[in-house]
Amino acid sequence: MNCSISSRVAGWIVAAAALTAVVPAWADPKIGVVDPQRLMMESAQGKEAFEALRNEFAPRERTLQAQGQALKAKQEKLQKDGATMTDDQRTRAEKELRDGARDFERARGELQDDETARRNEQLSRLQRTLGEEVRNYAKSQNFDVVLSGEAVVYATPAYDVTPAVLAVLQAKAAAAPAAKPATPAATPAPATAPAPKNK
């Protein structure tokens, strides 16, 4: 039994050696490593996505901050004037403070939930975009394998293609704004320009 297993293993080794000899390109694959976190943080597309998130939730964060400051002011007023208030006034002020604190906590929880959901949505979209750019770069540069730096224990800097991919992303981002203004400017022109030319 052991003899047949070792003869099979020997057969596989011979077959593998023969296959390597037939396809020598396999012996020297072109490998790259990319840092996804760096792409997200340093690319124009990543910065734009995070800036959009900040802008989207900034008004609600400012409202929540103002609500928290008003609540703190009420609490300080109650502590300062509580001794001179009537029982009814103090009871009413304490109830307002409790209700305000409950509303504040609910609003803060809702904001955190909404921010988390939108961040996950934006990150998912950004990861798909960046992943597609890495694949396009790998194909255009004839890489056999591009690995995520998060899964690689060690690689020499020579294998790092992150700067090259960032350069491609920067070039695309630089070209995008130039194309956007050209489109609105070109839309009104056909309405007025062709008429004089036809005459």
The pLDDT, as a whole number, for residue 112 is 97
In percent, the amount of the chain with pLDDT more than 90 equals 60
Q: Are 68 and 105 in contact (CB under 8 A)?
A: no
| pLDDT, tens digit (0-9, with 9 covering 90-100), for 38-79 | 999 999 999 999 999 999 999 999 999 999 999 999 999 889
Residues of the chain predicted below pLDDT 50: 1-23, 25, 181-199
User: Which among 29, 65, 31, 13 has a CA at the least distance from the CA of 147?
Assistant: 31
Domain locations in the chain as residue ranges: 28-180
Q: What is the mean pLDDT of the chain?
A: 80
DSSP 3-state assignment of 82? helix
pLDDT at 184: 44
For 148, phi then psi, to 5°, come to -75, 130
pLDDT at residue 151, rounded to an integer: 87
Give the pLDDT confidence of 22-42 residue by residue, as tens digits: 445 455 889 999 999 999 999
The whole-number pLDDT of residue 178 equals 55
- Classify domain 28-180 by CATH number: 3.30.910.20
Cα gap 160→155, rounded to integer Å: 8
Residue 14 in tokens: 């011979």
